[in-house]
Amino acid sequence: MNGAQRQLTGRHVRRRAARDLLWAVALLQTWLVVQFVAGAGYGLGVDSHAYWAAWRGEMYDAAPATLDAYLYSPAFAQLVWPLAQLPWPVFGVVWAIATVAAVIWLVKVAHWYVAVPLSLIGLHEVLTGNINWLLALVVVLGQRHPALWSLPFLTKVTSCLGPIWFLARGEWRKLLVCLGTIVGIALASWLVVPELWRDWISFLRIHSGSTDTQVGAAFLPPLIVRLPIAIALVAWGARRDHWWTLAVGMMLSSPVAGLGQMALFLALPRLNAEARRRRTAIDS
């Protein structure tokens, strides 16, 4: 066997190992998610119900990891408000359908042996109604539409790594659009409901330690450890055009670390397809 053949064989073995690992992780996560939803007693859409209920009481009264705890900025609640005027069952179904549609769009460019396990990973989002599927869309679409990075900033604040990517690449126009959109939306929202912004900032300050203890996976290091690693990874990836580092970095930097953050892997097929397109354009 010559060197080229050994290289191809090694690459095949690595790909097969990565594929098998993906299937193992997806099946394990599916089992854990089903156990959680069935055993927690919250029912389907436990997270999306919190978005629906945000305006139906004191927005920031419930502590993290409690039923109907709303953790995001008032701006996201304002964005969801029109849909939240629907009865809860309708809201929940619409949210779930949007999630399924996004998962299908994200993975359909991959071969079935990658698309199927990734879809299983996306099952967490469908069953709980969390917004990690939206963040996966931001990773994919935020390259061309940097204003979309306002979404992670106004929800899972520390996961907003788009500005780091643009800064490391010297893409100044995209960085200005990104930051300008964040400031503009936050300012407009604050002018409408300044008291809720004060409540949210106070809420984050009071419960900031819960992301290291009561909430999230106990086997993962605290955010103060994960966040610098995520920033360094994204800055490194930006300089080398490794778009996958955005998805992994956002997963690592999520304020609450757990099964749901794996949904950011849903962005990888689209990112890989775009990377192949760029390489083909350069070669031609």
In the structure, how many helices (H) and strands (E) does the chain have?
A: 13, 0
User: Do residues 63 and 69 lie in contact, with contact meaning Cβ atoms separated by under 8 Å?
Assistant: yes
Query: To the nearest 10°, the Cα dihedral for 45, 46, 52, 58?
Result: 180
User: Do residues 164 and 239 lie in contact, with contact meaning Cβ atoms separated by under 8 Å?
Assistant: no
- The Cα–Cα gap between 137 and 149 comes to 10
Cα angle, residue 141 at apex, residues 140 and 146 outer, rounded to 5°: 120
**Residue 21 structure tokens:** 């690992």
Q: What is the structure's pLDDT at 2?
A: 58
- The Cα–Cα gap between 188 and 186 comes to 6
Residue 42 predicted with pLDDT over 80 = no
Q: How far from each other are the two terminal CA atoms of the chain, in whole angstroms?
A: 32
Region of 246 on the Ramachandran plot (φ > 0 left; ψ -120 to 50 alpha; else beta): alpha
Distances (CA, A) of 158 to 72, 84, 167, 188, 200: 12, 26, 16, 21, 15
Helix axes 74-84, 46-53, angle to 10 degrees: 90
pLDDT digits (tens, 9 = 90+) for 199-235: 999 999 888 765 444 444 555 788 899 999 999 999 9
3-state secondary structure of 193: coil
pLDDT band at 266 (very low <50, low <70, confident <90, very high): very high
Region of 127 on the Ramachandran plot (φ > 0 left; ψ -120 to 50 alpha; else beta): alpha
| 258: amino acid identity, one letter | G
User: Do residues 262 and 131 lie in contact, with contact meaning Cβ atoms separated by under 8 Å?
Assistant: no
Of the spans 12-16, 91-95, 111-115, which averages the highest pLDDT?
Answer: 91-95
**Of residues 122 and 4, more confidently modeled:** 122
Q: What is the structure's pLDDT at 5?
A: 56
pLDDT digits (tens, 9 = 90+) for 149-168: 999 999 999 999 999 999 99
- The Cα–Cα gap between 84 and 122 comes to 23
Q: In whole numbers, what is the pLDDT of the chain averaged over residues?
A: 88
